[in-house]
Amino acid sequence: NIMMRGYCVAGEVEKGIGFFEEMERKGCLPNVVSYNTLMDAYFKKGRAEEAMSLFEGMKYRGMEPNLISYNVVINGLCREGRMEEASEMVKEMGWRRLKPDEVTYNTLVNGHCKGGNFHQALVLHAEMVKNGLSPNVVTYTSLINSMCKAGNLHRARELLDQMRVRGLRPNDRTYTTLIDGFCQKGLMNEAYRLLREMMDNGYKPSLVTYNALINGHCVMGRMEEALGVVREMEEKGLAPDVVSYSTIISGFCKDQNLDEAFRLKQEMGARDVSLDAVTYSTLINGLCQQNRLPEACNLFQEMIRLGLSPD
């Protein structure tokens, strides 16, 4: 199970399956944890149907799914936007006398948030309380993120206050969520105020936090500041990743400054940061916006040569 998990989190699900099959062959039969691990990996790779048939398979073979099995399946269905089926699974849990826990509810709350149904997310939040479970920092971070994505920063702050009133402390992800919300709107002063609060509370800004700040400056067209954040993170020993670079490249493309955009592409190569399909799309789009179609085609071919599939 440990080997399976190792390969699955590395994205090599096929190798994970190899261990699963080896267990069957050698008479060390996979248990519920093996099934849960593989199902989760399938869902996270977007291979929902294979995950579901594993789930059916385990039931057929008389292996009882546990609470975590259902949480995995519910999360998988939520990621696919299949909220109806996710609710059906909660009913199915009941037949097996399994009670949804905080993770189950957090998963459903987040699913409804991502699906844009904030109202239903609040309904689930209330139901969770009614069932004697306490919404935690994960629950609130989902709700806050939903409001940030909708641009309703006022409501996001209210939720932050509400969680504090209930004795919950925002963590680094909660702060990063809010910082991103303000950055998306270009409200950099607020974003930096939250960053300071985050640090005062003992949390170090993560790579994701820095990327959110970089994006905020790019949204405002303040490319010097965006590059300044990169320098700052490097001083702290954090290396910019493909997201940091793509964000800045996108900013330069919007600024019609393709020279700088391509300079950064080169820098990525020099620093051993691989471009992904999003980075290429950003650059291709930048070229197309300027009617530089032959160069766009060349980049398109370059990405295919590198084994990246266009989406």
Partner RNA sequence: GCUCAAUGGCGCAG
Among 19, 20, 54, 106, binds RNA (CB under 7 A): 106
Shortest CB 103 distance to RNA, Å: 4
Give CA angle at 243 (237, 244), nearest 5°: 50
Under rule CB under 7 A, residue 257 binds RNA: no
Name the residue among 95, 131, 127, 92 with its Cα closest to residue 108. 127
Under rule CB under 7 A, residue 5 binds RNA: yes
For 124, 133, 142, 262, 278, the CA distances from 308, given in Å and listed in that order, are: 39, 44, 31, 19, 10
H helices of 166-257, in order, are 172-184, 188-200, 207-219, 223-235, 242-254
As a three-state string, the secondary structure of 133-147 is: CCCCHHHHHHHHHHH
Shortest CB 269 distance to RNA, Å: 14
Under rule CB under 7 A, residue 124 binds RNA: no
Footprint on residues 286-305 left by RNA (CB under 7 A): none
Give the nearer residue to RNA in terms of CB position, either 28 or 294.
Answer: 28
For 55, 157, 217, 234, the CA distances from 45, given in Å and listed in that order, are: 16, 34, 32, 31
Shortest CB 58 distance to RNA, Å: 11
Under rule CB under 7 A, residue 282 binds RNA: yes
Under rule CB under 7 A, residue 48 binds RNA: no
Please enumerate in sequence order all residues whose Cβ is within 8 A of that of 102, keeping only pairs 6 or more positions apart, or say none. Answer: 128, 133, 134, 135, 136, 138, 139
Among 13, 16, 19, 36, binds RNA (CB under 7 A): 36
Under rule CB under 7 A, residue 174 binds RNA: yes
Under rule CB under 7 A, residue 32 binds RNA: yes
Question: Do residues 272 and 240 lie in contact, with contact meaning Cβ atoms separated by under 8 Å?
Answer: no
For RNA, the binding residues (CB under 7 A) are 1-2, 5, 31-34, 36-37, 40, 66-69, 71-72, 75, 102-104, 106-107, 110, 114, 137-139, 141-142, 145, 149, 171-174, 176-177, 180, 184, 206-209, 211-212, 215, 242-244, 246-247, 250, 276-279, 281-282, 285, 311
